[in-house]
A and B are shown apart, each in its own frame.
Chain A
């Protein structure tokens, strides 16, 4: 299991140093057949097959490799207008003022408390695809799920540009979004606590 996880981690470039962790130190076994289920029927036959349409209606999630991204595209310029109309009242005119979550990086901060809060898309989030996924499913807060794919692409582009990650004219779509490099991606490491009683 953890071998798989480590392989995935390495493939996605999450962290290079993970290869120093011994896979043998993790113990998360798979139990395909539990002793208490040995005399169970192969299936109980409860429930019904999920219709493809039902799955498609719910399955809007987006993976870092781009799986799940819909058709459509957007630009930062178009996103700017949508942001002003639907997002600025909570996140501030430029994405830093609030009152709710700061979205855009502020450069050159020195005060430790302010710096600690400055964990935003541009300097903390490891994958650009998460921006699309989250806006699509949960934003705007008072009208969640109301944005079209075009609007979500444009807002994603606007936020990536505001964070200095893409150019204003870049087109964001299913092909380009997974390729946006996020500066903090290599900082993320998997849980290293469980193979030792030491405090970590």
Chain B
């Protein structure tokens, strides 16, 4: 108890010296800052309210805080609609999506789940139907992996070209996920070898359900309770979500409360009336889980305006089938293609960053990228995709995205 008091600012004799010193430094910072902007700082020192001194080397800075903040100069935001919220791909660097910018898609809002009350039930074709608390799940051998998560309804276009990567395909994000392998739990409950499918059910008010191949559970599925080093965010399924590397986002059921092992799919509303796609000849593709290879140039991209001269073309590429083998860039509207440089490490079923150094002569042109994965699959144009599917659009559209550079440097989207 004494130790606790010390930390709350009533230090005992032994810690007095250090605490007082820290307190003194903090106070000094606030007092000095008050001279420049007293009112703001009395309300509480936050970095976003900082007014910049003429010379930051001449005044002490803000003392250590409990939670970090973005620079007030950095405005990063998802783009919400009624049903989803999109990651600002054009504003990000590298391949990890900050957790608060991970895209959202849910079917009746984000539920408030008390982690102390949380339970996961596994039943059906198992030897031992079991329930696991959050603490139980965290006791099992754990695993972490970096992979993308993408909604299969992730393509938008706009005729005037004034559309950013965020709107075109902002329903893809990447995190390091940590949790317990589903195979570990399958083993624990004794899954019947005859089980071929399982139902995954969420604890949101849509009580979202999807049928998943049991083989995916044995292969690489994870019950994730952490994302980028901290607990999974509520929008991403707190406290526990299903993670199926490379598979369409909708199947990665969030707020996971139940798994029922079965020997046939359930044909839930999501996997019949929604996440299915017409492919011509009156046929509709169902259980198309895997996300095909895709890439997009995120710079230069609308709304950017560029100058002629050296431009590092940057983007991301990914495939649900495996690793990206290479990315090719065209700066002449698809007539010729050159290999882009891939940033290591190139991970399985993960966003990889690519770049291509280019000298623009200022003449209007189109630039575009295409991803080729380790299975040999090459990202198609929209025309090729639609031709392969009897002229239909719908889920699982992964077309090459072109950017038109006008002579004034304005970059505009162009469908392929």
Alpha-carbon gap, A121 to B274, bound state (A): 11
Residues of A within 8 A of B130 (CB): 47-50
The reply to whether B196 and A47 form a contact with Cβ atoms under 8 Å apart is no
Flag whether B184 is at the interface (Cβ < 8 A): yes
Chain A, residues 183-200, CB within 8 Å of chain B (1/0): the string is 010011111111001111
Chain B, residues 208-230, CB within 8 Å of chain A (1/0): the string is 01000111101100000000000
Q: Which of A143-200 contact B (CB under 8 A)?
A: 144-145, 184, 187-194, 197-200
Flag whether B78 is at the interface (Cβ < 8 A): no
Interface size on A, residues (CB 8 A): 59
Flag whether B406 is at the interface (Cβ < 8 A): no
Residues of B within 8 A of A133 (CB): 209, 266, 268-269
Binds A, one of B60-68, B279-287, B354-362: B279-287
Chain A, residues 50-70, CB within 8 Å of chain B (1/0): the string is 100011001101111100000
Q: Which of A64-116 contact B (CB under 8 A)?
A: 64-65
Alpha-carbon gap, A125 to B267, bound state (A): 9
Contact of A199 among B133, B183, B276, B388 (CB under 8 A): B388
The reply to whether A190 and B286 form a contact with Cβ atoms under 8 Å apart is yes
The reply to whether B196 and A129 form a contact with Cβ atoms under 8 Å apart is no
Taking Cβ atoms with an 8 Å cutoff, the residues of A that contact B are 1, 4-5, 8, 12, 14, 28-34, 37, 40, 43-44, 46-50, 54-55, 58-59, 61-65, 119, 121, 124-127, 129-130, 133-134, 137-138, 141, 144-145, 184, 187-194, 197-200
Contact of A4 among B108, B196, B378 (CB under 8 A): B196
Flag whether B384 is at the interface (Cβ < 8 A): yes
The reply to whether A130 and B269 form a contact with Cβ atoms under 8 Å apart is yes
Alpha-carbon gap, A5 to B194, bound state (A): 11
Residues of A within 8 A of B207 (CB): 137-138, 144-145
Flag whether B15 is at the interface (Cβ < 8 A): no
Interface of B is mostly: mixed
Give 9 A-B pairs besides A50-B131, A138-B107 with Cβ atoms closer than 8 angstroms.
Answer: A29-B215, A47-B132, A49-B129, A54-B121, A130-B267, A138-B269, A144-B207, A188-B272, A197-B376
The reply to whether A197 and B377 form a contact with Cβ atoms under 8 Å apart is yes
B113 CB to closest chain A CB (Å) equals 14
10 CB-based A-B contacts, threshold 8 Å? A8-B196, A30-B214, A40-B187, A47-B130, A47-B188, A48-B130, A61-B268, A133-B269, A137-B206, A137-B207
- Give B123's nearest chain A residue, CB to CB: A55
- Give A59's nearest chain B residue, CB to CB: B260
The reply to whether B136 and A197 form a contact with Cβ atoms under 8 Å apart is no
- Give B376's nearest chain A residue, CB to CB: A197
Residues of A within 8 A of B286 (CB): 14, 126, 188-191
The reply to whether B284 and A184 form a contact with Cβ atoms under 8 Å apart is yes
Report the 6 A-B pairs with minimum CB-CB distance, sorted nearest first.
A197-B376, A134-B269, A47-B132, A50-B129, A137-B207, A197-B377
Alpha-carbon gap, A199 to B373, bound state (A): 13
The reply to whether B292 and A28 form a contact with Cβ atoms under 8 Å apart is no
The reply to whether B215 and A50 form a contact with Cβ atoms under 8 Å apart is no
Chain B, residues 102-146, CB within 8 Å of chain A (1/0): the string is 000001100000000001011100001111110011011100000
